[in-house]
Amino acid sequence: MAAAFKTPLHLPGALMVTVLLAPLSAIAGLILLAVLMFAYPDMTASRAIAYSAMAVIALLSLAPGSGAPRRQMARLWGALLPRTEAALAGVLILGIFAAVLVALSQKQPPDTTPLNGMSQNLESLRSDVRNLVSGVPFV
């Protein structure tokens, strides 16, 4: 019951922390994307995008200072699944669902469907930058 009263009071603070951490996580993801695209020429652009997206999600979840959003999520899940047995069943269902998704995704190439053609554009950007760098002496 206390979670129902505390949630509205702490929601603006958790939202503000998330808004402040999101650009930093996105910049770190872009840096990782650039490093992966140019340090590993055999890696496809869609796979580099997938790795950088995982890094952004990990930073938003585990970065220093992200405790307020994590506490807010704990309050939310505590209100939805207040008993240990219900929470254990929820964790088991979500874990099985995540394991099935991971197992199915291992057989498929990463997909950039919402941004059609993005991986082709990044592949052409990679070749353009390599052509530009190849003309620079001492590189």
For residue 81, what are its two tokens? Answer: 């699944």
Helix ranges (H only) for 40-109 are 45-62, 67-80, 84-105
pLDDT in tens, the chain (139 residues): 555 566 677 777 777 878 888 899 999 999 998 888 888 888 877 788 888 988 998 888 888 877 877 787 777 778 888 888 888 898 899 999 999 988 887 777 666 566 666 656 767 777 777 777 777 776 5
CB 26 within 8 A of CB 88: no
3-state helix, strand, coil in the chain (%, to 5): 80, 0, 20
For residue 131, what are its two tokens? Answer: 């052509």
CB 72 within 8 A of CB 14: yes
The reported pTM is 0.62
User: Among candidates 97, 98, 76, which has minimal Cα distance to 87?
Assistant: 76
For residue 100, what are its two tokens? Answer: 């099935």
